[in-house]
Structure 1
Amino acid sequence: MKKQFKSVFIVILFVLWTAFSSILSGAVEPQSSYSEAIKEFEKFVEEQMALDKAPGLSVGFKKGDFIWTKGFGFSDLENEVPAKPENSYRLASITKTITAIAVLQLVEAGKIDLDAEVQTYVPYFPKKKWPVTVRLLLGHIGGISHYKNYDVEGHIKVHKNTKEALAIFQDFDLVAEPGTKYNYSSYGFNLLGAVIEEVSGQSYGAYIKKHIFDPLGMENSRMDDPEDLISNRVSGYRLIKSEVKNSEFVDVSSRFAAGGTRSTVVDLLRYTKGIIEGKLLKRQTWKLVFTSMATREGRFTGYGMGWGVRPWRGHFRVSHGGSQPETRTHLLIFPEENFSIAVASNLEGINLTPYVRRLAELVLEEDLDSLAYVSDTAEQVIYDNCAQVFSYGMSSLDWHGTHISKDETELAEAFSYFNKYVDKKSLKKDFKEIKKKIEEGLHPASKQALIKVGSFMAYTLKESLGEEKLQIYYQSGPLAFFSDYIKISKNWPSSRKNYKFPKSFAKLISGWEKDWTVTYTDYVRNLLITVNTDFDELGSKLKRTFSGVDLYPDFSRDMERAGYYHLWKDEIQNSLKIFNLNRELYPNSPLPFSNLAATYIWTGNVEEARKLFKKAFALNPDHPRVSLNEFRYLRRHLENAKKLKEIFALAKIFLELYPKNAELHKEIADIYLEAGQNEKAGIFYKKALELDPKLEEAKRKLEELGKEKKKLT
């Protein structure tokens, strides 16, 4: 008995020591470290899914060695089958990340030359007007078209092999000379899939299974096949006029290397683990993958080789989303933080960004979406640029480990660029031109001057204050970042004067920092605006907090989301209350004016809508809320509500804003065509072609209208 007790005691000691050692070594993070964040996120998901009318969602994150996954809602709504992390979703365009890795594995093996023409490997693909290389295809700057006629190409219901998939687009003209324009193209990645097959001698599916899925233990990742029995496959859904309906059946074999795979959230986290650990490719190749490509004119595209590459509040981030019938997916990686998120939903078209953002904020304990409003328009441009310099600078140091200037002369030129253009007086003299110069400062066209400034600032702060202090800037943001650098550089010798900011700029930063300290209170810091927020109470508190300062936190986008939720439900008074509060708080931002304009269009008050859209346009003609995408967004909601009269009114207003926009004329023609007004549709298609003779879809539809007219006569 004593021996048995002794043996048990030894086993217990061993288990305890093993667990304790694991915690000491950091190999396993205790679950309690994220328990509160997870609890808060679960509450958020339930509320957000109800707003989105999402049937099901699977989500997970990996931070260090800690992994959490969970399913919400239903994988099969009709049979009430609960969603779980092991559910199999179509990955859609996340497939492109897999294709890129496969191509680069073959590059490392010496079987593919990135700068070779694609016909070197796929000789049956027709030659084009200009050479199309593998490298350019990986970054969506190869000139290959995306879907031309989605009504046909997006609804294929039969299996396509590789040659049949390429035949869909092989005769399309290039949309631009390769290297000159970013044009997202699923067809370009299908072409890369053909390259993989021709070079490896294997099918695309067989290659990625052997060289990507199997090495990473992704046992439930595969090509999609509607005929196969796939365990835990979700049922797909869509919203039609705000009602949940079954997804249309589409066979995605024609999108094989661009969007033809499926996987689980569990497997996707295994995928991110392998990427973070530098598996599958050599380190220098990963650097290539995660470096944004640039057009020939010297503008970064924000897309590397198969991955979106953009900083997020100072963090180096790579990501990709996916969208197709039955699914919506999102994959996010912060490589240097050993942190990744995977989300998948069986509701096509759902916006997964709020889920990703909220989870990232809770895990990192940071406000990743902290924005600031400045009452002066020129100062707003300066602040926004400072936020970019901070984000790109911190991210650059994060990824490269040092600042990116080659020598002192180059660095001095970068600071000279900043001080010349990021200047209030200059903006007041020639706002449009100086704003353009500031925006160019983040791109190769200006030798990345502003990124060089930011990365040197981050490097200097790290060297002067230490790594721990540098990490705090992820929370404190751009103003503390600039303020501390200015303090450090204040007493530098004259030999370093070229790396300093002028006194006028330092004064501006100092004033802003004081404003931010006053307004970014605990209440504001922890504020989460939802559709259930008491906006009377919110307005009272924010007006009081923001009174008497020039710069303060910007919640206009959060209020926009809440206001639109009420608008689409025809709760007009709630919508107006929120949007009017938005306008009161942020009177120089185009966003609330555009929101109010949309509300008045919805209610049929066209004249008021016109005034408000024009006001928004006058404040900033480049703002997203007065863009063609905003027209499309509002049109879609008006169509769902069967508000045809209001759609035409909206179209007329946007024509006044953009009288020479060919795409807008084409889309208005589409509206007339759908309404059965063929004659008017023809007029707008003709006008679209006058404005842009290369608008192939307008040309095709005009030809179809001509054929239809001949039949009738």
Structure 2
Amino acid sequence: MQSRKYYYFGALALLCGVAQAASAPAPALAARLAAFDGWVAQRMAMERIPGLTVGFTQGDSQWVQGYGYADLENRVPATAQSSYRLASVTKPMTAAAILQLVEQGKVDLDAPVQTYVPYFPVKAFPVTVRQLLGHLGGIDAYRDNKAEQHFKEHKTTRQSIAVFEQFDLIAEPGMRFRYTSYGYNLLGAVIEGASGESYGSYMQRHVWSPLGMAATVMDNPDAVIAHRVRGYRLVGTELKNSEFVDISSRFSAGGTRASVPDMLAFGKGIHDGKILSAASLAAMVQPMATRAGRLTDYGMGWETTPTGGRYAIAHSGQQPETVTYLFSFPSRKLTIAVAANLERVNPEAFVQRLFEVVTGEPWQLKTYIAEANAQRYYQVAQGLFEEGRAYAERTRQPYADAAATREAFTQINGQALAPDAAAARAFIDAARHPAGGRVFLTAGASMAERLRQAGTDLNKYSSGGALAFARDYIVLAQGAPAKSLPRFEPGFEQAIIALASSWDSTAAIAWPAAPTSIFELDGKLRAAFRGQRAYPDFVPELVDLAQTSAARGEADRALAASGLAVALYPLSDRAHTLQGLTLLHAGNTELADAALRVALARDPLGAAGPAALNLEAYRLKGSGAVAQGTAVLQAAVRLHPRDANLQDSLAEFYAEQGLHKQAVEAYQQALLRDPRYSGAAAARAAIIRLGSVADAAKP
């Protein structure tokens, strides 16, 4: 595995883009980065990734490294200069340009889009610029994937809009979040209409050049682009060149190309306020909500979900030739970016591991609560922690006054902790949303501020997590003068203190770097967690172990891993799903279905839900295990017999294996369940095409 390192320290190196080592990282960080090299090599080998570049910037320091190959055929190494397709990481850049035009008085966020794009047809309801920024405009996404995601010809802005301009709205604007590149194409047309410049020209002059993003350009197959990376896809177990797709049809939603240092420069430029005012930045990172009062966890061009109680903004990208991820922690002046040249892999794992290397903090504490009646208490603590501490990182301004804060505590005590478990779950689900009064944010922000005033360093909760956060506030409130601080119901306080004590004794137990014997690991973990109420959740690690073992043909090891998951985490839907999938792989369909039904009972929208099982099937297909993916879809259809999309996926898998009759039947079943599902038109066309093939094959 080849790698190329580039260290940038100071503004001069960043602006010039010169690979140099003006100084070295601190010894402790350098050692962790060296270990990171080995982890990346293992991960790339496991996922068959040809080339990848990853890096971070914090303050004036920057580190970027390329791994593997930007071009396999010519053995061109991936470096810091490698130019990847950005895909949807383009969207926050487009959003920044819109907000610049708002500051200049050239765009009104609440004006109908036709104000700036007069050729866009008027719909049943007005669609505003603000709604487009938050994917709330009712604009649909791809309807005919086989055509719309495979354009070969270069398109102008007008031609790109024409692709979807006749689509009806899928909902009244503001009513439904629908992630869509077409909405961001409209925003690119808004930029052109308001500025009088082409999208690429405006971005170059007002966003990319001011931030020193010299390698960022509009992707163009005819242009000579320095350090252009070649893209790849897995077909079965074999690496193939990516299909050629001209992405000009996604120009302002995903039509750009850049290096990882340029991605980092954009993230740094945003949180440093180089191209937007503080007011615009605040609006940009504020999560939007539907008219029904549900947060979308998306602001203006950024995903805005708190991460481990941290204030974070992010955006991922995926399209032919590439996957990308840009993650920024504005309060910490830390930005991390990754780009790879293999389709359909998850780049977030590289961001998470590099974050842990740079900060020394776990990305996300994974805590298992071993008692069913205490899980609700943990969910409340987690909601308070995620919302409250993230808000404290973002601002020192109070979120709500004393009266609203006390009312939030009253609601939590009276509803989240009520005897009626179903009603309590409904309240907890709504508690972070505007429709639920944002009670987790109101109470959690107050808790964080009170702890800070008492001299607590809130950074300690990166390792202590929600239980330590809630416990410390409870202890603080118990020791304060009567009624000076809002209190929780006594049963909750006692349970949290007990859970936190258990967590204190188990949190340091780590998953071994290289578990040699699953059976030895089984004994150690069972002994360590016996009798504990809270302990680390290693289900993701057990999933990786089971999947890796299965891929190597080590069925006994895979079954042992899934059995340990269920033994240690019997309340986890993910553990039971793992067992079901492992049994399915071993050919035990009856027991597999039983395990999946247990998982579904634990969480109907969790790991055994239709979306998750569909994703697992495509993961297997991407690794070359098409027959195993088909078995997963068959089990998913048995579990979710009314889901049209699962039938559609099953039809696709059948067709790929040459099982045309079964494919036609599955497409027909999909249409029977929902004649108007998103793939209905393509399904009807496939039925005709596959039926003709089947007829021609008859003797």
Same fold (TM over 0.5): yes
- 1:519 paired to 2:509: no
What does the per-residue CA deviation read over 1:499-520, in whole Å, with 9 as the maximum and x for residues that have no partner? Answer: 1112111110111111112212
Equivalent position to 1:119, from 114, 121, 131: 114
Equivalent position to 1:452, from 442, 448, 460: 442
What does the per-residue CA deviation read over 1:218-238, in whole Å, with 9 as the maximum and x for residues that have no partner? Answer: 111111111111111111111
Residue 270 of structure 2 aligns with which residue? Answer: 275
TM-fit CA distance, 1:199: 1.1
State whether residues 518 and 557 of structure 2, in contact with CA within 8 Å, keep that contact through their aligned partners in structure 1: no
Equivalent position to 1:576, from 559, 562, 577: 559
State whether residues 92 and 323 of structure 1, in contact with CA within 8 Å, keep that contact through their aligned partners in structure 2: yes
Q: Distance in 1 between matches of 2:459 and 2:110?
A: 39
User: Which moved further from structure 2: 173-182 or 442-451?
Assistant: 173-182
Alpha-carbon spacing, 1:49–1:142, altered in 2? closer, same or farther (3 Å) = same
Q: Distance in 2 between matches of 1:647 and 1:344?
A: 27
Q: TM-score, normalized by length of structure 1?
A: 0.90
Unaligned runs of 5+ in 2: 1-21
- Written as runs of structure 1 = structure 2, the 5 A alignment for 1:45-124 is 45-124=40-119
- Written as runs of structure 1 = structure 2, the 5 A alignment for 1:98-497 is 98-405=93-400, 407-423=401-417, 426=419, 429-431=420-422, 433-466=423-456, 469-496=457-484
Q: Distance in 1 between matches of 2:23 and 2:409?
A: 44
Aligned length: 674
Matching residue's letter, 1:154: Q
Matching residue's letter, 1:546: F
- 1:502 paired to 2:492: no
What does the per-residue CA deviation read over 1:318-345, in whole Å, with 9 as the maximum and x for residues that have no partner? Answer: 0111111111111110000011101111
Q: Name the SS for the 2:317 alignment partner.
A: strand
Q: Distance in 1 between matches of 2:100 and 2:271?
A: 16
State whether residues 620 and 629 of structure 2, in contact with CA within 8 Å, keep that contact through their aligned partners in structure 1: no
Q: Name the SS for the 1:570 alignment partner.
A: coil
Residue 596 of structure 1 aligns with which residue? Answer: 579
- Written as runs of structure 1 = structure 2, the 5 A alignment for 1:624-635 is 624-635=607-618
Matching residue's letter, 1:490: Q
Q: Distance in 1 between matches of 2:606 and 2:337?
A: 30
Residue 539 of structure 1 aligns with which residue? Answer: 522
Q: Name the SS for the 1:373 alignment partner.
A: strand
Q: Name the SS for the 1:215 alignment partner.
A: helix
Q: Name the SS for the 2:328 alignment partner.
A: strand
Equivalent position to 1:659, from 628, 637, 641: 641
Q: Name the SS for the 2:273 alignment partner.
A: coil
Q: Name the SS for the 1:490 alignment partner.
A: helix
Q: Distance in 2 between matches of 1:189 and 1:156?
A: 18
Equivalent position to 2:533, from 550, 553, 556: 550
Structure 1 or 2, whichever has the larger Rg, is 1
Q: Distance in 2 between matches of 1:460 and 1:692?
A: 52
Q: Distance in 2 between matches of 1:502 and 1:28?
A: 54
TM-fit CA distance, 1:672: 5.2
TM-fit CA distance, 1:641: 4.3
State whether residues 573 and 607 of structure 2, in contact with CA within 8 Å, keep that contact through their aligned partners in structure 1: no
What does the per-residue CA deviation read over 1:285-321, in whole Å, with 9 as the maximum and x for residues that have no partner? Answer: 1000001111111111111000111111111000111
Alpha-carbon spacing, 1:520–1:703, altered in 2? closer, same or farther (3 Å) = closer
User: Which moved further from structure 2: 479-488 or 622-631?
Assistant: 622-631
Matching residue's letter, 1:109: Q
What does the per-residue CA deviation read over 1:42-76, in whole Å, with 9 as the maximum and x for residues that have no partner? Answer: 12111111111111111111122221111111111
Unaligned runs of 5+ in 1: 1-26
Matching residue's letter, 1:603: A
Residue 620 of structure 1 aligns with which residue? Answer: 603
State whether residues 660 and 690 of structure 2, in contact with CA within 8 Å, keep that contact through their aligned partners in structure 1: no
Q: Distance in 2 between matches of 1:513 and 1:572?
A: 37
Q: Name the SS for the 1:412 alignment partner.
A: helix
Alpha-carbon spacing, 1:97–1:643, altered in 2? closer, same or farther (3 Å) = closer
Q: Name the SS for the 2:168 alignment partner.
A: coil
Matching residue's letter, 1:363: V
State whether residues 373 and 554 of structure 1, in contact with CA within 8 Å, keep that contact through their aligned partners in structure 2: yes
Q: Name the SS for the 2:318 alignment partner.
A: strand
Q: Name the SS for the 1:308 alignment partner.
A: coil
State whether residues 639 and 647 of structure 1, in contact with CA within 8 Å, keep that contact through their aligned partners in structure 2: no
Matching residue's letter, 1:442: R
Q: Distance in 1 between matches of 2:677 and 2:507?
A: 48
**Percent identity among equivalent residues?**
38
Q: Distance in 2 between matches of 1:105 and 1:583?
A: 52
Residue 38 of structure 1 aligns with which residue? Answer: 33
Matching residue's letter, 2:680: A
Alpha-carbon spacing, 1:160–1:533, altered in 2? closer, same or farther (3 Å) = farther
What does the per-residue CA deviation read over 1:338-383, in whole Å, with 9 as the maximum and x for residues that have no partner? Answer: 1110111111212111111111012111112221111222322321
Alpha-carbon spacing, 1:150–1:314, altered in 2? closer, same or farther (3 Å) = same
Matching residue's letter, 2:208: F
State whether residues 634 and 650 of structure 2, in contact with CA within 8 Å, keep that contact through their aligned partners in structure 1: no
State whether residues 590 and 625 of structure 1, in contact with CA within 8 Å, keep that contact through their aligned partners in structure 2: yes
Q: Distance in 2 between matches of 1:540 and 1:350?
A: 33
Q: Distance in 2 between matches of 1:707 and 1:80?
A: 40
TM-fit CA distance, 1:434: 2.0
Alpha-carbon spacing, 1:462–1:348, altered in 2? closer, same or farther (3 Å) = same
Q: TM-score, normalized by length of structure 2?
A: 0.91
Matching residue's letter, 2:112: E
Matching residue's letter, 1:430: A
State whether residues 402 and 455 of structure 1, in contact with CA within 8 Å, keep that contact through their aligned partners in structure 2: no
Alpha-carbon spacing, 1:558–1:710, altered in 2? closer, same or farther (3 Å) = closer
State whether residues 626 and 653 of structure 2, in contact with CA within 8 Å, keep that contact through their aligned partners in structure 1: no
Matching residue's letter, 2:354: L
State whether residues 92 and 261 of structure 1, in contact with CA within 8 Å, keep that contact through their aligned partners in structure 2: yes
Q: Distance in 1 between matches of 2:657 and 2:343?
A: 26
- 1:698 paired to 2:680: yes
Q: Distance in 1 between matches of 2:378 and 2:368?
A: 9
Aligned-residue CA RMSD (Å) = 2.4
Alpha-carbon spacing, 1:78–1:708, altered in 2? closer, same or farther (3 Å) = closer
Q: Distance in 1 between matches of 2:686 and 2:539?
A: 44
Alpha-carbon spacing, 1:490–1:221, altered in 2? closer, same or farther (3 Å) = same
